[in-house]
Amino acid sequence: MKRLQGKVAVITGAGAGIGRATAELFAEEGAAVVIAERDEATGREAAERITQAGGKALFVSTDVADEASVARMAAEAVAAFGPIHILVNNAAVFILKGIEATPEEWRQILDVNVMGPALVAKHVVPAIRQAGGGAIVNLASISSFIAQPNFVTYNTTKTAILGLTRCMAMDLAPANIRVNAVCPGVVWTQIVERQALAMGLDRAGADVHPQWAGAQLIHRCADPREIAFAILFLASDEASFITGTHLMVDAGYTAR
Ligand SMILES: NC(=O)c1ccc[n+]([C@@H]2O[C@H](COP(=O)([O-])OP(=O)(O)OC[C@H]3O[C@@H](n4cnc5c(N)ncnc54)[C@H](O)[C@@H]3O)[C@@H](O)[C@H]2O)c1
């Protein structure tokens, strides 16, 4: 029996990286997936690949920071697949700045990384209520717990996700909706690759560098699918007694 058979899942930022791996895994497990992605090309391609592989997927062009866009996405998702069971708030931007960040940079990252998940929940939760309940998984990070050089903007948003997760879990428990966060360590996605390359590091270099996966107990970057499995667990009925908390998937980065 597939673990998400008959379920409908909305995944933001599912055109690339962890979101895409999650959409592919959820589809393999029987879910119909809504790729709520701002990048038309990658979003469309992700949905096509899943459909070609025999899964159910719909791409909806979505900017999680724009409420009208989010409301449209939720309506299209319900029109295509009916009530929704799972929301994965994955989309984020990586504006990595210290205290020199401009108000415009602060607004951009707060809008996408913090307000975005709240807006998406606001418009998707009514459809989860229609389904009789479900699960929300928010993407936090090791950056929710540790200091990193010149990461003031990003780490502030990822720390906020933990508060968002706990408060949403409290408010939505009566509706039978569980809310949890996943906190990945260093995952080899486009953004990590770009930053590693800027430091002159390839993947093998990032695996051992003390500021990258070298700081983990397992000295290698994760594949996005390794994070997707943790998201799948929290989204599935196997996690029926888990809400308001976070799961570290960081290869021991924060265990030191
Ligand atoms: N890669 C890592 O090492 C790592 C570690 C810890 C946490 N995370 C978290 O995991 C999540 C995914 O990270 P990733 O590395 O896969 O990122 P990524 O950059 O590879 O993918 C992010 C996707 O989100 C989309 N997106 C960005 N802004 C959007 C918006 N406003 N509306 C809709 N879509 C938007 C992008 O187009 C992209 O497809 C993020 O929340 C990130 O903070 C990543």
Q: What is the CATH number of the domain that holds 76?
A: 3.40.50.720
Is 255 a member of any domain?
no
Write the pLDDT tens digit of every residue in 154-197.
999 999 999 999 999 999 999 999 999 999 999 999 999 999 99
| Residue 127 and residue 83 in contact, taking contact as beta carbons nearer than 8 Å | yes
| Residue 167 and residue 244 in contact, taking contact as beta carbons nearer than 8 Å | no
Write the pLDDT tens digit of every residue in 46-101.
999 999 999 999 999 999 999 999 999 999 999 999 999 999 999 999 999 999 99
Is 254 a member of any domain?
no
Task: Mark whether 227 and 110 lie in a shared domain.
Answer: yes
Task: Mark whether 102 and 192 lie in a shared domain.
Answer: no
Write the pLDDT tens digit of every residue in 215-243.
999 999 999 999 999 999 999 999 999 99
Distance CA 118, CA 121 (A): 5
pLDDT of residue 13: 98
Task: Mark whether 236 and 115 lie in a shared domain.
Answer: yes
Task: Mark whether 72 and 120 lie in a shared domain.
Answer: yes
Distance CA 112, CA 92 (A): 6
Task: Mark whether 74 and 129 lie in a shared domain.
Answer: yes
Concerning whether 253 is annotated as a catalytic residue, the answer is: no
Q: Is 14 touching ligand 1 by the criterion CB < 6 Å?
A: no
Task: Mark whether 193 and 237 lie in a shared domain.
Answer: no
Q: Which residues contact 172 (CB under 8 A, 6 or more apart)?
A: 125, 136, 178, 179
Distance CA 142, CA 160 (A): 13
Residues linked to residue 34 through DSSP beta bridges, in sequence order: 10, 58
pLDDT of residue 226: 98
Residue 114 DSSP class: I
Taking the centre of ligand 1 as the mean of its atom positions, its distance from the CA of residue 52, in whole angstroms, is 24
Can you tell me which atom of ligand 1 is nearest the CA of 113?
41
List for the chain the helix, strand, coil content (%; round to 5): 50, 15, 35
State how many domains the chain has: 2
Domain that holds residue 209: 187-221
Task: Mark whether 69 and 136 lie in a shared domain.
Answer: yes
Helix (H) or strand (E) holding 11: strand 8-12
Distance CA 58, CA 47 (A): 6
Task: Mark whether 59 and 172 lie in a shared domain.
Answer: yes
| Residue 48 and residue 74 in contact, taking contact as beta carbons nearer than 8 Å | no
Residues linked to residue 177 through DSSP beta bridges, in sequence order: 134
224: three-class secondary structure by DSSP: helix
The tokens describing 22, both together, are 């999650």
Is 1 a member of any domain?
no
Q: Is 144 touching ligand 1 by the criterion CB < 6 Å?
A: no
Task: Mark whether 35 and 107 lie in a shared domain.
Answer: yes
Task: Mark whether 143 and 77 lie in a shared domain.
Answer: yes
Cα–Cα nearest to 208, from 218, 200, 199: 218
Is 250 a member of any domain?
no
Kindly state the average pLDDT of the residues 117-127.
99
Q: Whose CA is nearest to atom 17 of ligand 1?
A: 17
Distance CA 29, CA 49 (A): 15
Taking the centre of ligand 1 as the mean of its atom positions, its distance from the CA of residue 91, in whole angstroms, is 5
pLDDT of residue 101: 98
The tokens describing 211, both together, are 């500021």
Is 251 a member of any domain?
no
Kindly state the average pLDDT of the residues 116-129.
99
9 confidence band (pLDDT: 50, 70, 90)? very high
Task: Mark whether 107 and 205 lie in a shared domain.
Answer: no
Is 249 a member of any domain?
no
Kindly state the average pLDDT of the residues 148-158.
97
- More reliable by pLDDT, 181 or 211: 181
124 confidence band (pLDDT: 50, 70, 90)? very high
Q: Is 60 touching ligand 1 by the criterion CB < 6 Å?
A: no
Is 181 a member of any domain?
yes
Report the greatest alpha carbon distance in the chain: 52
Q: Is 38 touching ligand 1 by the criterion CB < 6 Å?
A: yes
Is 55 a member of any domain?
yes
Options 59, 81, 154, 212, the catalytic residue: 154
Task: Mark whether 160 and 108 lie in a shared domain.
Answer: yes
Q: How far is CA 83 from CA 71, 78, 175, in A?
A: 15, 6, 14
